[in-house]
């Protein structure tokens, strides 16, 4: 991981995705609007070849490709290739935006405090292994909570176990389905705090390199 130190420097960002890429789009939109001004998305990697997120990246003119465990011969080979692709481009910050693959302790330690993730709940609620996508919102509704939200956190070897960077609360309303709640959490929390956290961290990276 390397940081440029020129006056107009921007931290280099890689985004890891698995699906539709709505959080990736939020980052792209923030970059285009100037909200994300201290960092620039240089690379998008998906662990699924059919991820629509790859199309979003291509449309935005960002280098993007799929890298699967199968094509790499398993987890170890996958992380080796992932490391090579990231380090060869001097990436400063890795953002997991709907990336549904657990990374090993060896990988997360190599990039300690250089990987962040957005989780669709207020950690420590409804988080950890097995809590992802609609399952998180199903669990929140089943428990009867009145407030949920989203969390951006650093990634370590424990699923959703890293230090919290930002959180934003979202109201649970009568009649909510998991799908309706998921959309509200994305619109009112995830798409706001993920770009904000990315800007905060990128600004800190640039300041350290200055």
How high does pLDDT run on average in the chain? Answer: 94
Residue 51 has pLDDT above 90, yes or no: yes
Q: Are 155 and 162 in contact (CB under 8 A)?
A: yes
Question: Is residue 113 assigned to a domain?
Answer: yes
Of residues 6 and 108, the one with the higher pLDDT is: 108
Local confidence band at 5 (pLDDT 50, 70, 90 cut-offs): very low
Question: Is residue 6 assigned to a domain?
Answer: no
Helix and strand totals (H; E) in the chain: 8, 7
CA distance 124 to 48: 28
Convert the pLDDT of each residue in 143-190 to its tens digit.
999 999 999 999 999 989 999 999 999 999 999 999 999 999 999 999
CATH of the domain at 128: 3.40.50.170
Question: Is residue 1 assigned to a domain?
Answer: no
Catalytic hit among 113, 119, 137, 153: 119
* Residue-level pLDDT at 209: 79
Contacts of residue 128, defined as CB under 8 A and 6 or more positions apart, other chains included, come to 158, 159, 160, 161
* Residue-level pLDDT at 68: 92
Give yes or no: 153 in active site.
no
Residue 2 has pLDDT above 80, yes or no: no
Q: Please count the structural domains in the chain.
A: 1
Residue 69 has pLDDT above 70, yes or no: yes
Q: What is the pTM of this model?
A: 0.93
Residue 14 has pLDDT above 80, yes or no: yes
Note down the domain range covering 184: 11-209
Question: Is residue 18 assigned to a domain?
Answer: yes
Question: Is residue 37 assigned to a domain?
Answer: yes
Question: Is residue 2 assigned to a domain?
Answer: no
Question: Is residue 184 assigned to a domain?
Answer: yes
């Amino acid at each position: 991981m390397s940081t440029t130190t020129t006056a107009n420097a921007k931290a280099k960002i890689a985004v890891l995705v698995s699906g539709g890429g709505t959080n990736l789009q939020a980052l792209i939109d923030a970059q285009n609007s100037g909200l994300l001004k201290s960092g620039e998305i240089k690379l998008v990697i998906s662990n699924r070849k059919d991820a629509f997120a790859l199309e979003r990246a291509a449309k935005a003119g960002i280098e993007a490709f799929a890298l699967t465990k199968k094509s790499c011969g398993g987890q170890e080979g996958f992380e080796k290739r992932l490391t090579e692709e990231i380090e060869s481009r001097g990436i400063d910050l890795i953002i997991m935006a709907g990336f549904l693959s657990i990374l090993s302790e060896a990988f997360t330690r190599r990039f300690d405090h250089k990987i962040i993730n957005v989780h669709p709940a207020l950690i420590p609620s409804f988080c950890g292994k097995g809590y992802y996508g609609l399952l998180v919102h199903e669990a929140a509704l089943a428990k009867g909570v009145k407030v949920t939200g989203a969390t951006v956190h650093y990634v370590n070897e424990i699923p959703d176990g890293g230090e919290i960077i930002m959180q934003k609360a979202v109201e649970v309303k009568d009649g909510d389905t998991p799908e309706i709640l998921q959309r509200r959490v994305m619109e009112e929390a995830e798409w706001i705090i993920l770009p904000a956290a990315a800007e905060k961290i990128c600004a800190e990276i640039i300041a350290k390199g200055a």
